[in-house]
Amino acid sequence: MKCDSCQEEETWLEIIGNQYICHKCMQKNKDMGFLFRTNIEIFKRVMKKLKPKDYQEYTLIAKEQIEKAVPDLKKFGIKLN
């Protein structure tokens, strides 16, 4: 399958809205990429709450929004920069 952002052929893609995004492109949002790598459960919770409608919106998710979506972030030992 092809990534809708970089057009590279990848085996594993994440679905954001109606787009398929490769793991490399997922890292373009620094904080979300960090959660994606380190704690997929929290990542999923943030995605469920913020519901970015496409990749563009995903890349714009700010640290403040993540902290608001998961107020107990610190409990999980997660610190965003």
Residues that bind Zn ion (CB under 5 A): 3, 5-6, 22, 25
Residue 10: both structure tokens together? 């990848």
> Whose CA is closest to 30, among 3, 63, 2, 57?
63
Q: How far is the CB of 61 from Zn ion (least distance, A)?
A: 17
Q: How far is the CB of 44 from Zn ion (least distance, A)?
A: 20
- Sequence-ordered alpha helix ranges (H) in 13-72: 23-26, 30-38, 40-50, 55-59, 63-69
Identity (one letter) of the amino acid at 27? Q
Between residues 25 and 46, which has the closer beta carbon with respect to Zn ion?
A: 25
Between residues 6 and 15, which has the closer beta carbon with respect to Zn ion?
A: 6
Between residues 6 and 40, which has the closer beta carbon with respect to Zn ion?
A: 6
